[in-house]
Amino acid sequence: MRYRELAKRLRDLGCEYVRPGAGSHRIWWNPALDRYTTIPDWGHKDIKPGTLRRILRDLGISRREFGPIK
């Protein structure tokens, strides 16, 4: 899954982009749980499944709520 697809799905779940992070990373916030995470934006490269699981855990989103991980 690439950053753009992840960002769209996070917005659909109520998360918000906050600001750029260090280098090619972006800071996101889940206002429902007041939880933050950093997401890499590598453009054309896929985010690894383990990194994606960690992002969801940081934001307090269950894998069932998020849907299938490609």
pLDDT in tens, 16-39: 999 999 999 999 999 999 999 999
**Residue whose structure tokens are 């916030």:** 29
- Which structural domains are found in the chain, ordered by start? 3-66 (3.30.920.30)
Helix axes 3-12, 49-59, angle to 10 degrees: 30
Residue 53: Cβ within 10 Å count: 13
CA-wise closest residue to 18 among 42, 34, 4: 34
Q: Does the pTM of the predicted model rise above 0.85?
A: yes
pLDDT at 69: 79
Count of residues making up the chain: 70
Q: First and final CA of the chain: distance in angstroms?
A: 6
